[in-house]
């Protein structure tokens, strides 16, 4: 139980509430308090989930249920965007917290947004003037966001090794039109996906991508399969490496600048329904291959099966092989 934590500020993230609570303790380092008192680590924004958020929510139980507290003061539910019910047999919030805190995505790419807490320098100055302290905002911690929508500036990253509240004095960088467009597009995709029942989101997304790229199976002995997969993988790698998505990802030490986008296990690995990649990777695939109206059209049809190999009726026009050939030649 966390006794007498500070009251949450407007839009404040639970991690920030915890830090302000730390300022009232006997510990000299926030990391020391987290490890000794709550057996929790601060390696990334996702690592603080359990058990501290549950304890913090319990302190406010007279005002919020655990589910409401998690929804209001964290961005945890964003991470379960493409996880179906089979991943979490117990659908309670407590179970989700426990399992997501240790859940391992197939991290083919490192999602940069998971490596640090983010803040807006303009918000920090305004918060300090209004409340006498800076703090982290829930809206700034979503992995698909890089822009403060209030001030249209890029979010700054906190020190990943020493957790503290946002500093004062950091200069803000105005977001480009490309940044603002990406922010709007990704947010609209997330909003659209959240309208779909959780158990159907990943199934429908993968079905539509399969229809778009016209790849439903992969036989290494079939020259057409091999050629089409390679063409699509090359298009994916080319577009990724030239696109507005690059700031969201960093290559792992074994990537060599290529894996897995045009490797043997690249595209087919991403589209394997049994694997769970970071939701940012699925958002990237959706945005690169699909249009909003195609996703909307698919919602007119009921799913006969939750098996991704049994797609919804054809609602997406496939990419022509000639377009892929020309794209690879460019």
pLDDT value, residue 109: 64
Q: Are residues 88 and 32 in the same domain?
A: yes
Q: Cα–chain-centroid distance for residue 259?
A: 20
Read off the pTM. Answer: 0.86
Q: Are residues 143 and 216 in the same domain?
A: no
Domain assignment of residue 4, yes or no: no
Split at pLDDT 50, 70, 90, the class of 144 is very high
Q: Are residues 184 and 264 in the same domain?
A: yes
Q: pLDDT digit string (tens) for 184-235?
A: 999 999 998 988 888 888 888 998 998 898 887 777 788 888 888 888 888 8
Q: Are residues 26 and 136 in the same domain?
A: no
Domain assignment of residue 50, yes or no: yes
Q: Are residues 169 and 198 in the same domain?
A: no
Domain boundary among 176, 203, 226: 176
Domain assignment of residue 147, yes or no: yes
Highest mean pLDDT out of 90-94, 180-184, 256-260: 180-184
Out of 19-33, 119-133, 289-303, pick the least confident.
289-303
Mean predicted lDDT score pLDDT of the chain:
82
Q: Are residues 210 and 318 in the same domain?
A: yes
The answer to whether residues 113 and 248 touch, using CB atoms and an 8 Å cutoff, is yes
Number of domains into which the chain is organized: 3
Domain boundary among 105, 129, 162: 105
Q: Are residues 96 and 33 in the same domain?
A: yes
Domain assignment of residue 110, yes or no: no
Residue with the bigger pLDDT between 180 and 234: it is: 180
Q: Are residues 28 and 168 in the same domain?
A: no
Domain boundary among 80, 105, 130: 105
Domain assignment of residue 202, yes or no: yes
Q: Are residues 101 and 208 in the same domain?
A: no
Domain that holds residue 150: 118-176
Q: Are residues 96 and 37 in the same domain?
A: yes
Q: pLDDT digit string (tens) for 62-115?
A: 999 888 888 899 888 888 888 866 666 665 667 777 777 677 777 656 777 887
């Amino acid at each position: 139980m966390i006794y007498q934590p500070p009251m949450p500020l407007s839009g404040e993230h639970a991690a920030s509430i915890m830090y302000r609570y730390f300022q009232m303790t006997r510990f000299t380092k926030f990391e020391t308090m987290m490890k000794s008192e709550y057996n929790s680590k601060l390696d990334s924004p996702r690592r603080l989930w359990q058990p501290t958020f549950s304890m913090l929510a319990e302190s406010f139980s007279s005002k919020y249920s655990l589910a409401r507290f998690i929804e209001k003061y964290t961005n945890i539910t964003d991470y379960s965007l493409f996880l179906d019910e089979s991943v979490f047999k117990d659908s309670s919030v407590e179970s989700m917290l426990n399992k997501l805190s240790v859940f391992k995505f197939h991290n083919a790419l490192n999602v940069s947004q998971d490596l640090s807490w983010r803040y807006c320098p303009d918000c920090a100055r305004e918060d300090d003037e209004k409340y006498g302290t800076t703090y982290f905002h829930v809206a700034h911690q979503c992995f698909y966001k890089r822009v403060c929508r209030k001030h249209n500036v890029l979010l700054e990253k906190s020190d990943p090794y020493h957790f503290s509240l946002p500093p004062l004095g950091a200069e803000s960088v105005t977001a480009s039109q490309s940044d603002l467009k990406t922010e709007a597009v990704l947010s609209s995709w997330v909003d659209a996906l959240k309208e779909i029942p959780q158990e159907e989101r990943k199934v429908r997304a993968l079905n539509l991508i399969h229809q778009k790229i016209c790849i439903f199976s992969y036989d290494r002995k079939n020259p057409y399969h091999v050629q089409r997969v390679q063409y699509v993988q090359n298009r994916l790698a080319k577009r990724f490496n030239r696109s507005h998505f690059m700031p969201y990802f960093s290559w792992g030490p074994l990537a060599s600048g290529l894996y897995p986008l045009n490797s043997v296990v690249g595209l087919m690995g991403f589209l394997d329904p049994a694997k769970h990649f970071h939701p940012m990777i699925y958002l990237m695939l959706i945005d690169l291959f699909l249009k909003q109206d195609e996703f909307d059209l698919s919602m007119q049809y009921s799913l006969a099966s939750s098996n991704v190999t049994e797609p919804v009726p054809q609602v997406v026009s496939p990419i022509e092989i000639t377009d892929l050939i020309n794209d690879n030649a460019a």
